[in-house]
Structure formats: C-alpha cells, structure tokens
Amino acid sequence: MGIGERSVPYEEAWAEQQRLHELRVADEIPDTVLLLEHQPVYTAGKRTNPEDYPLDGTPVVQVNRGGEITWHGPGQLVGYPIVKLPDPIDVVAYVRRLEEALIRACGEVGIATTRVEGRSGVWKLGEEIPGAVVDPSEVVEIGKLTLRMGLPLGIDPRLAGPEYAPSNAGQRGDDRKLAAIGVRVARGVTMHGFALNCDPDMTWFDRIVPCGIRDAGVGSISSELGRDFGVAAALPVVERHLREVLAELPEPALAR
C-alpha cells in the first residue's frame, strides 16, 4: 500500500481495511493482504492498561484489535491480512500462522526467532545465563501451560508446547520482541495483523510499555544483524512466506 516516501497514515489504512473487510465478507474479493509502512502513530488495543500509555501525553489511537499498546512508524513493515477463516473459527491457529510466516522470514535473513509461551509475536530469546535457576515464586502452573514472570491468567492453554520457548523467569537475558501481532475477527474475516521491526528508531518504544510487557525488550532485524536491513529489503521475503503459510489454510465455505 506504500512504504518509504509513500508511507501511509494510520487512519487511511484503517479505512481501507474496513472497505476490504466488507468486500471479503460478501465474497466479492479474494483474501487480501495490505503491506505498508506507517507514519508515526501509537495504537492501543482493547486490553491496554492506562499505566502503559505515554507519560508525556502523546496522542494514542484507540483500535478494536486484540492486544495492548504499540507503536507503528518508519522502519517497520506492517501487514493487514483480510482473510476469511474456515469454520470452526480458530483465532489462535491463525495467529500461529502469522507467527510462522515471520519466523521463517527472519530465519531467511539470518535471525533465529521463536514463540514464547503465553505471549503472541515473534521473539529473539536472551542469552542463557550459566547456572541460572528458575525462581519457583515466579511460576504459575495452569494445566499444561507454565506462566512465568507474573503473566496474567486466562491465556489460552494452547499457547504452549514444543514450538514455544518457556517464558523467562530469570534463566536468560532479556528476550526481544521483533514482531508484534494483534488481530480481530469479525463475521469470519480477519482485520489488523502484524508489525515487524526492520530498522525503526527504537526510542519511539521508550514512551510506552510495548504490549504491556515490562520484563522483556523490543528488537529489530537491524539491531540483531548488526547492520541496516530496511522495510524494502524485508518486503519480498515476508510477502513470500506469508503467501505460503496462508495458502495452507483450508478453504472457507462460501457465504449463503
């Protein structure tokens, strides 16, 4: 939709999402993904806590996606898939597909990333601390899901398993989130999506508590590689892996 000098104001992209969403619900268009770079903006999902907002009063756009507060702007590749999900609707499985596409894209450019249990998005794990022992007081067991570092209760227990690294309880250095994910599904069709940090000015994140997470950091492809890697370079890589992963979705039934 536009990157670099053609970066897109948030309100313009939001209006286009809504337009395409209506068309996809009516089966008038196929699944569609908007890929773009935003002009600087803070957006807050429905679960954002007041204490996570910018302390200096910087304006924040309220949005109807899941997740909490984040920043979008130059140096960040944003994707808004407008995709009809098959019945029965499984939002967690869809989020996992977005994560998988971005994990594959990061791997292609030389960064090994993973999921972290109880936390959506794509993560670069901190370095293991030799001899570190998990503090039992920081661990809460809920069925098969182990929550660490005081994570809130009520997280879907499927956000655990061999593909998820255990959340950090002091056994490694700070984890860094390279890609944030926040989605909404209305009438069976997705909105909002993901934001992959390529080479943004990371100080934008200093004004907020990104995604409400206080015990981890935010990273970028460039900071992990130690060299510049911009949105234009990431675009074709992400597009290819996103196309592959979303193509694996079962075909939804046609609207009646």
Task: With CA atoms as reference, report the closest residue to 123 among 207, 234, 197.
Answer: 197
Q: Rounded to whole angstroms, how far apart are CA atoms 234 and 201? A: 16
Which listed residue (211, 218, 234, 238) is catalytic?
211
Helix (H, G, I), strand (E, B) or coil at 182: strand
* Token duo for residue 165: 């690294």
Q: Identify the bridge partners of residue 165 per DSSP, sorted by sequence position.
A: 116
Residue 89 in tokens: 């609707």
Tell me the H-state helices in the chain: 10-25, 91-108, 221-225, 231-247
- Tokens at 75, concatenated: 């140096």
Strand partners for 69: 44
Helix, strand, coil % in the chain, rounded to nearest 5: 30, 25, 45
Report the C-alpha gap between 27 and 242 in whole angstroms.
Answer: 21
Characterize 130-163 residue by residue with b for buried, 16 or more Cβ atoms within 10 angstroms of its Cβ, and e for exposed.
eeeeeeeebeeeeeebbbbbebeeebeeebbeee
Q: Clarify whether 106 is annotated catalytic.
A: no
**Contact indicator for 225, 109 with CB cutoff of 8 Å:** yes
Cα–Cα dist 250/190, whole Å: 15
- Cite the active site residues: 211
